[in-house]
Amino acid sequence: MSDHYYAPDHLKAFGTISEGAPELGKKFFEYYSAVFAAGALTEREKALIALAVAHTVQCPYCIDAYTTECLQKGSDLEQMTEAVHVACAIRGGASLVHGMQMKEHAAKVGM
Amino acid sequence: MTSTLSSRRAPLANPGEQLALLQASTEGRPDFQEMLRGAGWPALTPAALEIFQINLGKLCNMTCRHCHVDAGPDRSDAMMTRDTVDACLRALDQTSAHTVDVTGGAPELHPEFRYLVDEAHKRGKHVIDRCNLSVLLLPRNAGLAEWLADRDVEIVASLPHYRQRNTDAQRGDGAFEKSIAALRLLNAAGYGQGNPRRILSLMTNPAGAFLAAPQSSVENEWKAALQRDFGITFDRLLALNNMPISRFLEWLIESNNLDSYMSRLIDNFNAGAINGVMCRNTISVSWDGRLFDCDFNQMLDLDAAPSMRIETFDAAAWQQRNVVTRAHCFGCTAGAGSSCGGATA
């Protein structure tokens, strides 16, 4: 057992998560592959979305995996950094827009 | 900007050292021959010979970090003689190869380049010039784009990315700006506008330890971006994986990426890419007249088996050989596959 959280080898072994629930694992990984196949969005666009979401959910495995994937799909550092800023803006904006609730409540209870 | 392994007398200038490192980095993994057998190829046999690839030498005006040739401005030690060029032409006449693929170094710097192109064109061959773009801007090459256009030469131009960062990272500061200037020059000569006699292909290599982007899915994006940002047009995009040899191998070692890159190549082995690998339909001639299965084997001193020379070329014997393979060959079968003509799967 690893003596720390987030061991890099866990990503390579991710498929073994199916051992405890093979049918669910199979369904998940099939679904996962289907999600990232080219459709109305290109594989490159989906990889950039995944990279942004990876930063939002702060998953180090996903950040490594989708950094490489974005590069392999033809994105460059500037495009990937802009994607991360989109995640950052939405996270920041989501905090700030809650300020509206704060404002309303303050108005209600304040003088 | 780097310098050539040769000028630094680096141990990696020795192909034997490179092969030993590749062997060590793939220890415990299935070797390339095993993977081929598992995919139904007991041996890698030749297909009909289509492409006659001539490497004129290692002289180049650039010193790119990923260069598999170890080419550079100091490499005038390795240049094909006129006699060897003539031997290539005599051998070419013995084959039904439809394409003469001229490479280097920067082949345009070679004194026999125009002679070779002229002779191949006279023979009715489709000629490819593997061009680094910036060479077209040198004063000595003024008018070369038009000269090539007059001979229906296809330009296969190296451009890692349609944006500056990745291009300069791989090819040196300022390379992108020069590439754009040269592409404008080629467009002005009629290249890249759908004319089959003025084909402009762009060749992209990854700027790092990852696989090439799937060319079919990103070609439209490249076309739109180069048109939008610079008013440049081209005909097709070719994507090529970097081979873990020579200066790219040096970078992999220095950046501590060698083992993970080799694992990536092996893990992404694609049996569907085997049929189209370049070593099956290509003959590769080195500056000193030796024959190889491909330009990568040439740089590793892996002569065709049995070894042959261009002066005594025997077309029938060439077709009876088996391709020589080592661990670097995983570079051509990874992902969508990779060859001088781009993806193979």
Residues A53 and A88 grouped into a single domain = yes
Determine what percent of chain B is predicted with pLDDT higher than 70.
100
**What rounded mean pLDDT belongs to chain B?**
95
In a domain, B312, yes or no: yes
Residues A16 and A59 grouped into a single domain = no
Sign of the four-CA dihedral B169, B173, B177, B182: negative
In a domain, A23, yes or no: yes
- Mean of the pLDDT values across residues A38-46? 93
Count of domains for chain A: 2
pLDDT band with cut points at 50, 70 and 90 for residue B1:
low
Contact between residue A70 and residue A80 where contact means Cβ atoms under 8 Å apart:
yes
- pLDDT per position as a tens digit, B263-305: 999 999 999 999 999 999 999 999 999 999 999 999 999 999 9
- pLDDT per position as a tens digit, B71-108: 999 999 999 999 999 999 999 999 999 999 999 999 99
In a domain, B341, yes or no: no
For tokens 């900007």, name the residue: B1
Which are the contacts of A103, defined by CB distance < 8 A and separation ≥ 6?
none
Residues A108 and A85 grouped into a single domain = yes
pTM, full prediction: 0.89
Q: What is the model's pLDDT at position B96?
A: 94
DSSP notation for B38-106: HTT-SS-------EEEEE-BSB-S---TT-SS--BTT-TTSB--HHHHHHHHHHHTTS---EEEEESS-
Q: What is the model's pLDDT at position A4?
A: 86
Q: What is the model's pLDDT at position B104?
A: 95
What's the CATH number where B207 sits? 3.20.20.70
In a domain, B51, yes or no: yes
* Interface mutation vs chain B, best among A36, A77, A79, A81, most B CBs within 10 Å: A77
Q: How far is it, in rounded angstroms, from Cα A93 to Cα A70?
A: 25
For tokens 């006279």, name the residue: B122
Chain A nearest C-alpha distance from B57 (Å): 31
Cα distances (angstroms) measured from residue B24 to each of A63, B19, B100, B155, B290 = 30, 9, 36, 38, 28
Does A88 score more than 90 pLDDT? yes
Q: What is the DSSP letter of B29?
A: S
Q: Which residues pair with B309 in a beta bridge?
A: B290
ipTM: 0.75
Partner-chain contact B221 A74, CB within 8 Å: yes
Q: What is the model's pLDDT at position A2?
A: 74
- Mean of the pLDDT values across residues A30-37? 96
Does B12 score more than 70 pLDDT? yes
In a domain, B105, yes or no: yes
For tokens 């693929």, name the residue: B101
- pLDDT per position as a tens digit, B225-264: 999 999 999 999 999 999 999 999 999 999 999 999 999 9
Q: What is the model's pLDDT at position B116?
A: 98
- pLDDT per position as a tens digit, B308-319: 999 999 999 999
Q: How far is it, in rounded angstroms, from Cα B280 to Cα B291?
A: 14
Q: How far is it, in rounded angstroms, from Cα A19 to Cα B296?
A: 42
In a domain, A103, yes or no: yes
For tokens 């060590």, name the residue: B24
- pLDDT per position as a tens digit, A5-20: 899 889 989 999 999 9
- Residue A110: give the domain boundaries: 45-111
Which are the contacts of B342, defined by CB distance < 8 A and separation ≥ 6?
B203, B215, B236, B237, B238, B239, B240
- Mean of the pLDDT values across residues A59-72? 96
Partner-chain contact A38 B217, CB within 8 Å: yes
User: Any chain A CB within 8 A of the CB of B263?
Assistant: no
Q: What is the model's pLDDT at position A47?
A: 97
In a domain, A80, yes or no: yes
Chain A nearest C-alpha distance from B226 (Å): 14
* Token output for B334: 């990874």
Q: How far is it, in rounded angstroms, from Cα B103 to Cα B135?
A: 13
Partner-chain contact A76 B165, CB within 8 Å: yes
Residues A50 and A101 grouped into a single domain = yes
Name every chain A residue with its beta carbon within 8 A of the beta carbon of B257: none
Alpha helix ranges (H) inside A1-111:
9-12, 22-36, 43-56, 60-72, 77-97, 99-109
- Residue B135: give the domain boundaries: 5-333
Residues A100 and A67 grouped into a single domain = yes
Which are the contacts of B35, defined by CB distance < 8 A and separation ≥ 6?
B266, B269, B330, B333
User: Any chain B CB within 8 A of the CB of A81?
Assistant: no
